[in-house]
Amino acid sequence: MGALILQQTINALTVGSIYALIALGYTMVYGVLRLINFAHSELFTAGAFIGLALSGALGVAGHPMGGILVGLITFVVIGLAGVSVEIVAYRPLRRTSRLAPMLSALGMAVVIQNAVMLIGGRRPLIYPSFLPSGVIELFGAIVSYKQITIFAVAVVLMIGLELFVNRTNLGVRIRAVAENAETASLVGINPNTAISLIFFIGPGLGAVAGVLYSSFYGVATFTMGFVIGMKAFTAAILGGIGSIPGAVLGGFLLGIIETFATAWMPVLTGGLIGTEYRDIFAFSVLVLILLFRPAGLLGEHISEETMVYKSDF
Amino acid sequence: MHLKGLLYAAVAVTAISGIPLTGAARADILIGTAGPTTNAEALFGTTWQNGMELAVRQANAAGGVDGQKLVLERDDDGGDPKQGTLIAQKHCDNAGMLAVVANFNSGVTIPSSDVYNRCGMPQVTNASNPKVTKAGYKNLFRPIANDLSQGAAPAEYALAKLGAKKAAVVHDKQAFGQGVAEVFRDNFTKGGGTVTSFSGIAQTDVDFSALLSSIRAENPDVIYFGGVMPAVGLFVKQARELGIKATFFAADSAFTPDFIAGAGPASEGTVVSFQAPPYDSSPALQKFATDYKAAFGEEPGPYSAYGYVEASIIIEAMKKAPTPLTRAGIAAEIAKSDFDGLVGHVAFTPEGELKKPFLFLYAVTGGKFVLVK
């Protein structure tokens, strides 16, 4: 039993790492623009496909070192795609109602998904792994090097982001714009630079998550972003949308809730509720958190003043 | 003037396309077919229809039926029930169409058989779901093992040949996947084995780690997976990564190179049930494979031999049926079929099922499917 709990925890941390990486993109954009970037999940898919194309072009399938190179290039390519999406679809609508950019985001999601489908095809593609193979036994549970790598990459990227936002000059600008764009521009900060930066980093991290995800499961499909994007979005809300540590916490928590519920519901209900209902748990969490703690677990404290400023933005 | 030109063009096009159609209906005997030649199963559908095409060409080369030429009219239903019923109506309305090989998928065959039954069209299907023959139509025949045998044979093999005592069963909650998994479960239990768990997954799932960790704790000897690609490939791969040693069993949907490519070395040893023997297992099949390659420039697909057998059943019946040929006369002759086909003996029960269904088990050995039974 102990080994089983440990095994499920390891599984949960693996899937949680991926949720957390994607959730960062949602939370950063929301923190600054009060916009849910629905195109984010499709950029995640696009990242996985670009990783696949690169692995073929560079001939590095199965090499972890090549994987780092592929990860970096994918980060930059999808980061630039994210910046372009913002310039094309969100910037012109920034001063209109809150509804317009959201609809534009939904439209972008459809456009990107179709582009991926046209280029990559409709069939599920077999994905070569960039992750090292092999396993270690730990108190009766099996931990694969793949799982360790995913966890390590996610933790390194998340710590890096946290340091970047809190300890660098650019990070200060991002936080200033997030706090209040107009006041920030009064002291000489160009909000567009900060926003572009966010649209570079968020999708970039999502793209790395896409490469990790497809490498781990061994498959890429053009529709895979939808459900996983919804889950990462749930994770961002669970942790408190707008908060970077919140997104990380939400991602891991959601991974744990989902994995344990999926594993034990069939046992508790005698097979009536099977693992096919795994998505229900994530969305039940979403409903509960919205009902009882809409700001999320680590949600930013919203004073009346900031509410007024941000709703104007 | 411009509009007039367009009208003339339209009339001309109609005339040109109309001539060969009406011409064919008068002189030739039409056999229809509908299967997926686009979408995920395009490869299966296309090579299946090529098999029929080969049977028709060989029959024509041998003088046709009563001196008349046979023509195979190929349609694409895309595996879509809506499309399949539209094509069925079109075939029914064509008076020159005397029999059909349709459809490839159970989900399409079930609704289309209602349409074909209403116009008395002899229908030979490749669909394996047990429900296909439930309506009791006298014009519907299935010269292929149904899912009941597809779940039963692996259970028998696991118990008798592998000496398995415990099995974990997983399915994807679809008509096909759950159906074969239930048959496996029932047969395995009846044979004295224990089923440690019977779990469902979603067809689109890619992460099976939670379920597999539970299964690993159950320590089964065999794991049966009732589902389709890519889930089955991912499932086997992730199970091996978690250190599960059990032998895997999967249904015909895993009988594709994609499965071996997707699961990689983890696929080794997986037992897959399939309706056709390998093309090198008998002289007749070897000759078929050679003829097929000569005709289409590629290796036959997994269902090509079935397409050939299904078209042959119709052609044999046409040769025996009273002239002038009618749909009813051909259906009556198909029911009396009694000959050795490419893959085995063809004879039908009153329900239209094979008297002795053909089913073969393959195991992945050295990256290839090798016949084990």
Q: Is A217 on the interface with B (CB under 8 A)?
A: yes
Q: Verify that B125 and B154 share a domain, yes or no.
A: no
- Chain B contacts of A210, Cβ < 8 Å? none
- Label residue B104 by pLDDT band (50, 70, 90): very high
For A258, B109, B168, B172, the CA distances from B200, given in Å and listed in that order, are 16, 25, 11, 5
Give yes or no for residue A220 having a pLDDT over 80: yes
Mark whether B84 and B129 lie in a shared domain: yes
Q: In the A/B pair of chains, how many CB contacts fall below 8 A? A: 88
CB B210 to CB A263 under 8 A? yes
- Do B92 and B202 lie in a common domain? no
- B369 assigned to some structural domain: no
Say yes or no for a CB contact (<8 Å) between A259 and B261. Answer: no
Q: Above 70 in pLDDT, residue A310?
A: no
Total Cβ atoms within 10 A of residue A121: 12
CB proximity A134 to B under 8 Å: no
Do residues B298 and B155 both lie within one domain?
A: no
Do B141 and B153 lie in a common domain?
no
Q: How confident is the model at residue A139 (pLDDT cuts 50, 70, 90)?
A: confident
Reported as a single tens digit per residue, the pLDDT across A256-308 is 999 888 888 777 777 677 777 788 888 888 899 889 888 888 876 554 445 44
Given a contact cutoff of 8 angstroms between Cβ atoms, the answer to whether B102 and B33 are in contact is yes
What's B301's domain CATH number? Answer: 3.40.50.2300
H/E stretch holding A141: strand A141-144
Q: Which of B38, B41, B208, B209 is best to mutate for the A interface (most A CBs within 10 A)? A: B209
Instruction: Report the residue of A52, A213, A256, A262 to disrupt the B interface, i.e. the one with the largest count of B CBs within 10 Å.
Output: A262
The architecture that CATH gives domain A2-312 is Orthogonal Bundle (1.10)
Q: Would you say residue B194 lies in a domain?
A: yes
ipTM, interface predicted TM-score of the complex = 0.72
**Chain B within 8 Å of A117 (Cβ-Cβ)?**
no
- The reply to whether B300 falls in a domain is yes
What distance in Å separates the CA atoms of residue A241 and residue A250, rounded to the nearest whole number?
9
Same domain assignment for residues B259 and B307: no
Q: In chain B, how many domains are there?
A: 2
Instruction: Tell me which of B241, B259, B274 is where a domain ends.
Output: B274
The Cα angle at residue B253 between residues B75 and B47, in degrees rounded to 5? 35
Report the candidate in A284, A274, A300, A282 with the shortest Cα–Cα distance to residue A16: A282
Confidence label for B21 from pLDDT (cuts 50, 70 and 90): very low
Q: What span, in angstroms and rounded, lies between the C-alpha atoms of B229 and B8?
A: 50
Surface-to-core class of residue A231, CB atoms within 10 Å of its CB (0-12 exposed, 13-18 middle, 19+ buried): buried
Q: Does residue A186 have a pLDDT over 50?
A: yes
User: Residues B132-146: pLDDT tens digits?
Assistant: 998 899 999 999 988
Among candidates B39, B199, B206 on the partner chain, residue whose Cβ is nearest the Cβ of A266 = B199
Amino acid identity, residue A291?
L
* H/E stretch holding A22: helix A2-33
C-alpha A135/C-alpha A73 separation (Å) is 28
- Please judge whether B209 and A4 are an interchain contact, meaning their C-beta atoms are less than 8 angstroms apart: no
Q: Are residues B289 and B244 in the same domain?
A: no
- pLDDT band for position B10 (cuts 50, 70, 90): low
Decide if B364 is inside a domain: no
Look-up of token digits 């599984």:
A11
Nearest to A219 among B172, B230, B242 (CB): B230
B164 and B239 co-located in one domain: yes
Asked if B40 lies within 8 A of A123 by C-beta distance, the reply is yes
List the 196-215 stretch of B: residues with Cβ below 8 A of A. 197-202, 204-211, 213-214
Which domain covers residue B233, as residue numbers?
Answer: 147-274
Q: Is residue B256 domain-shared with residue B290, that is, in the same domain?
A: no
My answer on whether B140 and B284 are in the same domain is yes
Eight-class DSSP state of A298: T
Spatial distance between the Cα atoms of B237 and A127, rounded to a whole number of angstroms: 12
| Region of poorest pLDDT, from A87-91, A286-290, B13-17 | B13-17
CB contact under 8 A, B241 and A135: yes
Give me A106's structure tokens: 């939904």
Residue of A nearest to B231 (CA): A219
B184 in the same domain as B152 = yes
Sorted by where each begins, the domain ranges of chain A are 2-312
The pTM for the full model equals 0.74
Cross-chain residue pair B39–A122, CB shorter than 8 Å: yes
What residues does B166 pair with on adjacent strands?
B194
Q: How far is A58 from chain B (nearest CA, A)?
A: 20
Residue with tokens 């193979």: A133
